[in-house]
Structure 1
Amino acid sequence: MNYDAFLGKVQHRLELPDEGHAAKMTRVVLETLGERLGEGEASDLAAPLPMEIDRFLTESPSGQQFSYQEFIDRISQRADVEEADAHFTAQAILALVAECASGGEIDQARDQLPADYEELFAFVDQEATPW
């Protein structure tokens, strides 16, 4: 999937007004996820993504230890959105990343995260997503 197609799907799934908003939300979610994952796992997950997006996972200091609630709080603050919107946005963007990555890469990322992150994978696990 190329950059424009990826952002188009983010824009559509999140019902955002334009591609600029889609790019911002993608950056915020992936940078925050990259901070939580170990460096190697962030790189593995980033590899199949468009090159304009993959860097979001790998440019921030990785391997930080924080809860899922802190993950959502960081997204909410950085994107200036409500907590519920941050939660939905993170789930939707991770589901799109999962469409680009192999199941093994998603499973490895999931295995690296504590149990409270299971909510993040809600749309990855669903056979029918809300879009």
Structure 2
Amino acid sequence: MHHDELIGKVQSLAHLPDRDCAERAAHAVVSTLSERLPAGLARHVAAQLPPGMAAAMREAADASGADAGTAGEKFGLIAFAGRVAVRTGTDEDAALRETAAVLEVLDAALAPELMERMADALPSDIRELLPVGRAAEGAGQEPG
């Protein structure tokens, strides 16, 4: 999926007023995901994203200083929404709506196996934001 298409879908799904808001939301979500996912998995996800989105994800993964085998930070949905809200300048409700939209677009853009690995790496409360089918596949598989 090309960058413009990805941003357009995020804008539509999240009911955002313009592409700049959609761009901020997409970057905020992939950056926050990168902090939560194991570093190697975040880099694999970045490899399948358009260059601008990939850069945001790689920057967050690299900023953690973690090597490929290192687990991501342990935080749940409230902290996830808070980080996205701070990055987008919105409230947590808007951040949750935008996160769900970005995750739905990522589900369409990424290889299914990669989305399954991502779902497996997320705690159940964040996994609930994934599209229904993907969230159900990962149900009951709390990471250690």
TM-score by length of 2: 0.79
Deviation at 1:27, TM superposition (A): 0.7
| Contact residue 30 and residue 57 of structure 1 kept, 8 A | yes
CA–CA separation in structure 1 for the residues paired with 2:91 and 2:42? 26
Unaligned runs of 5+ in 2: 67-71, 135-144
CA RMSD of superposed structures (Å): 1.6
Q: Distance in 1 between matches of 2:10 and 2:80?
A: 19
2:46 pairs with 1:46? yes
Which sits farther off after the overlay, 53-62 or 103-112?
Answer: 53-62
Matched, 1:86 2:95: yes
Deviations 1:91-126 (A, max 9, x none): 1101101101111101101111222222221x2528
Percent identity between matched residues is 31
Report the CA distance shift for 1:68/1:9 in structure 2 as closer, same or farther (over 3 A). same
The alignment covers a number of residue pairs equal to: 125
Q: Any gaps of 5 or more consecutive residues in structure 1?
A: 127-131
Among residues 106, 125, 129, which one is paired with 2:133 in the alignment? 125
Distance 1:71 1:28 in 2: 10
AA partner of residue 80 (structure 1) = G
Q: Could you tell me whether the CA contact under 8 Å between 1:34 and 1:42 is conserved in 2?
A: yes
3-state SS of 1:57 partner: helix
